[in-house]
Chains A and B, each alone.
Chain A
Amino acid sequence: DTGVSQNPRHKITKRGQNVTFRCDPISEHNRLYWYRQTLGQGPEFLTYFQNEAQLEKSRLLSDRFSAERPKGSFSTLEIQRTEQGDSAMYLCASSRGTAVISNQPQHFGDGTRLSIL
């Protein structure tokens, strides 16, 4: 069973540049989530897809952030005009299930660590 794969593992960029991260979920999982984790904190929810539909976005997801999941497979998270405060670990997770309250755990990738110079 191949786990959730995220690329790249690390990204260093200058403030103001655009960056894009990719997440490949576990193949049979229809749900996909993006989280952001800063040092010493737990992950914070950014957005959620059920198949190809983006069903929920957090207030943390400013208009500089956009996420897509074409064809309900892999997903990309793009940050435009990066700022110092965007430095964090970006985690992707996937799960199966259709029930509103699902007992299916979310399986996480290794994350992409973003550093803004």
Chain B
Amino acid sequence: AQKITQTQPGMFVQEKEAVTLDCTYDTSDPSYGLFWYKQPSSGEMIFLIYQGSYDQQNATEGRYSLNFQKARKSANLVISASQLGDSAMYFCAMGNQAGTALIFGKGTTLSVSS
């Protein structure tokens, strides 16, 4: 069965520092997609970045990059130059085999201090 594991319940970082949020996944499907979402305290889920299993390069979107290590089945999110507005819950997710739903991890709470 497909599974997403996020082992860090909470992470703390100071402004302007970089932070890595861990995500490991389990799937037997050779083709899959991995997503990261941000959920501020207000509740909306905001899409951050996508990585396809056959993509040759790690995905980047502005200050977000995805450290994709296929052999280790990890898809860590790296946020460079953290800002106070980055404080939120971050979820790693995988598209299910039918491509009809996302399977989410339990999330990591990121707190950025000044």
- A residues lining the B interface (CB < 8 Å): 33, 35, 40-45, 48, 55-56, 58, 89, 91, 93, 99-103, 105-111, 113
Contact = CB atoms under 8 A, between A and B. Distances in A.
A68 B84 CA distance: 40
Interface in B31-74: 31-33, 35, 37, 42-47, 50, 52
Contacts of B98: 56, 100
Nearest to A33: B101
B107 A42 contact: yes
A111 B102 contact: no
B91 A103 contact: no
Contacts of A56: 98, 100-101
Given A101-B31, A103-B33, A44 B47 contact: no
B104 A42 contact: yes
A54 to B, nearest CB: 11
A106 B106 CA distance: 18
A43 B33 contact: no
Given A103-B33, A105-B35, A108-B44, A45 B95 contact: no
Given A107-B47, A111-B43, A43 B104 contact: yes
A103 B52 contact: yes
B100 A109 contact: no
B50 A105 contact: yes
B21 interface: no
A107 B99 CA distance: 15
Contacts of B31: 101
B100 A93 contact: no
B64 to A, nearest CB: 13
